[in-house]
């Protein structure tokens, strides 16, 4: 679970921690993780399996989580700001975070990559594809949305968890993670609680940061609907969404697929807001098949 080959890329104003799998001569796949979740949310075995299909896989910590740059000099949003979705001075935007992904490709000397994003990471991947089409060969948006308040909104029973007091110890952090995924996780797949506890332990040791997660949430809530941007995407696109997702309801995935020209939609029975091991083969097959739809890169 703990990254074995962490590396760092220094971008403009931020340092990004990342890890790679596979041969750098293979086509690159950039994996972008979601709100408050470190790159280890992309399980190392998942990354290795994807690399085994002929890709150079890159996973990374977004700014303000894990071992990437923290923005602790900027206060987190207040509870009132989160509840009203009105943020006076967010520390950064989703666009800034999307630029981090492109900057990482620059540092690695990669002209263009297949980009796969989960949840908030799907939002960042969408912006990369819309704003920098020459850098995104194909797009896979997993359990994400368009940013419109008309689709993909959480189930009401989840709202108390958004404003709950953050855990203060490792044990509390692990238990909170187990509890949360018992609610938003995939009811149709076996859940390995030992894996989940190890994920929580490793994340805490690498640098759990509730304030960072809150600042990322402010970036999400401060963003407008991306529907106009999504209509500009030309990269082959696959939208994957769990039918049992309570955090980003399936309407978010359907709306995303409708907004992106030519996008394909894959709804996974029994999948919630996580990446259950039992769905890996279906997800990886989808990534590989979608990547095959991309035009071959033009020789230099």
pLDDT, tens digit, for every residue of 45-98?
999 999 999 999 999 999 999 999 999 999 999 888 888 888 988 999 999 999
171 lies in a domain? yes
Domains held by the chain: number: 1
Per the structure, the complete domain to which residue 255 belongs is given by 7-291
Q: Is residue 151 part of a domain?
A: yes
Is residue 297 situated within a structural domain? no
What token pair was written down for 7? 């590396």
Residue 298 counted as domain residue: no
The SS3 of residue 29 is: strand
Task: Give residue-wise pLDDT tens across range 249-295.
Answer: 999 999 999 999 999 999 999 999 999 999 999 999 999 999 999 98
What integer pLDDT is reported at residue 298 of this predicted model?
A: 63
Instruction: Determine the angle formed by the axes of helices 94-107 and 120-131, rounding to 10 degrees.
Output: 70
Is 300 inside any structural domain?
Answer: no
pLDDT average, residue stretch 35-50: 97
Region 17-21 average pLDDT: 98
**Number of alpha helices (DSSP H) and beta strands (DSSP E) in the chain:** 11, 8
Q: Is residue 296 part of a domain?
A: no
Q: Which long-range contacts (CB under 8 A, 24 or more apart) does 84-90 make?
A: 85/221, 87/218, 87/221, 87/222, 90/215, 90/218, 90/219, 90/222
Confidence band, pLDDT 50/70/90 cuts, at residue 300:
low
**pLDDT the model gives residue 3:** 84
Q: What count of other Cβ atoms lies within 10 Å of the Cβ of residue 245?
A: 26
Give me the CATH number covering residue 109. Answer: 3.40.50.1820
Give phi and psi for 214, each to the nearest 5: -65, -40
What is the DSSP-derived secondary structure letter of residue 3?
Answer: -
Q: What is the mean pLDDT of the chain?
A: 94
Lowest mean pLDDT among 54-63, 161-170, 193-202, 274-283: 161-170
Assess if residue 2 is contained within a domain: no
pLDDT digits (tens, 9 = 90+) for 98-124: 999 999 999 999 999 999 999 999 999
In-domain check, residue 299: no
């Amino acid at each position: 679970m703990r990254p074995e080959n962490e590396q760092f890329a220094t971008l403009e104003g931020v340092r990004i921690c990342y890890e790679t799998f596979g041969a750098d001569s293979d086509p690159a796949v950039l994996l972008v993780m979601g709100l408050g979740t470190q790159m280890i949310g992309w399980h190392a075995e998942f990354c290795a399996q994807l690399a085994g299909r002929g890709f150079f896989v890159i996973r990374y910590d977004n700014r303000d989580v894990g071992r990437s740059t923290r923005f602790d000099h900027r206060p987190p949003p207040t509870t009132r700001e989160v509840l009203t979705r009105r943020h006076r001075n967010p520390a950064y935007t989703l666009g800034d975070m999307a630029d981090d992904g492109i900057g990482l490709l620059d540092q690695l000397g990669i002209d263009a990559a297949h980009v796969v994003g989960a949840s908030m990471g799907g939002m960042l991947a969408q912006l990369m594809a819309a704003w920098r089409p020459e850098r995104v060969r194909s797009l896979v948006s997993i359990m994400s949305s368009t940013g419109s308040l008309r689709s993909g909104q959480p189930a009401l029973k989840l709202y108390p968890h958004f404003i709950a007091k953050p855990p203060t110890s490792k044990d509390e952090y692990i238990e909170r993670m187990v509890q949360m995924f018992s609610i938003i996780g995939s009811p149709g797949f076996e859940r390995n609680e030992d894996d989940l506890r190890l994920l929580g332990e490793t994340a805490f040791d690498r640098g759990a940061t509730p304030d960072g997660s809150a600042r990322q949430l402010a970036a999400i809530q401060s963003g407008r609907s991306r529907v106009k941007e999504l209509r500009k995407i030309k990269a082959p696109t696959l939208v994957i969404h769990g039918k049992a997702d309570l955090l980003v309801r399936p309407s978010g995935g359907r709306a995303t697929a409708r907004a992106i020209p030519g996008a394909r939609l894959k709804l996974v029975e029994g999948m919630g807001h996580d990446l259950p091991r039992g769905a890996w083969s279906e997800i990886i097959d989808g990534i590989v098949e979608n990547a095959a739809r991309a035009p071959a890169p033009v020789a230099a």
